[in-house]
Amino acid sequence: MNKKDFFMNKNILITGGSSGIGLALAQKLSSMGAVIWLVARDEFNLASALDTLPPTSRGGIFSTDVSQVDQVKALAERWDKKHTIDILINSAGIAYPGTFENLSLDTFHQLMEINYFGTVNIIKLLFPYLSTQAHIVNIASMAAVLGVYGYSAYGASKYAVRGFTDVLRSELLLSEKKVSLVFPPDTETPQLAFENQFKPAITKEIAGNAGALSAEKVADEIINGIFKKKYIIIPGLESKIIYLAVNLFGRKVYPIMDWMVRSAAKKTN
């Protein structure tokens, strides 16, 4: 079966689907004949995003804050029971960089509520509507592969997504459902533009050594990973090398990270 036939007529629900990686996924999957359902907070942005899809692929939109259980329950109650969800993609998320000392407690709680609990809420409450062979895709971050200076709140929330998804994969192993975990690097999205305003100087210096991928490139690799039923999906060559190094060398990568931080600190001073 080719890729287009694989995705043809599948009901795909994407959180964070009004922009960034979520929207890029929606546009590419709709071009393969999938029926797309978009979830995000802003109804105007959702409607605009849906308008970019072919009419035959427009399943519908849900203006929902995934961190709010009551809103996700309302989404589940509105779901058309005649449909099952074939692919559920959790792309909703926010990042707010800053040193631990300068970040507020509210920021830590907000990122955990949206990035981690938002993922759990959607899967838990929509689980009854997943098809027998459904595929769940959780988007984490390279900040869940190794600790990055300036991302104590964001990295922790994405490590939580990683741990949760590892357990979910294990628990669904004996079923026909599949799970994927994505570790995208910096990606050219409105979210990246937002967080660049708040990155500490050292974080900017470190990040400056790696170019951001386009949302379209990341979406292509996620789609390929779903098609091939991969558990771990890592967009970009540099990210693949980093993931391999961390898993191969373990704690020996810390001296490299320490050198990068010290080097960046010297340059920024």
What would the pLDDT profile of 147-182 be if each residue is shown by its tens digit? 999 999 999 999 999 999 999 999 999 999 999 999
Residue carrying the six token digits 């001296």: 255
Query: Domains (ranges, CATH) in the chain?
Result: 3-268 (3.40.50.720)
- Give catalytic residues, as residue numbers: 154
pLDDT in tens, 103-122: 999 999 999 999 999 999 99
Specify the amino acid at residue 210.
A
pLDDT recorded at residue 210: 63
Q: Please name which of 259, 87, 268, 53 lies closest in space to residue 178, comparing C-alpha atoms.
A: 87
pTM of the model: 0.94
The interaxial angle of helices 20-30 and 215-227, nearest 10 deg, is: 60
CB distance 134 to 88 below 8 Å: yes
247 Rama class: left (phi>0) / alpha (psi -120 to 50) / beta: alpha
Give strand pairing partners of 35: 11
- Count CB atoms within 10 A of the CB of residue 95: 22
Residue carrying the six token digits 């910096």: 186
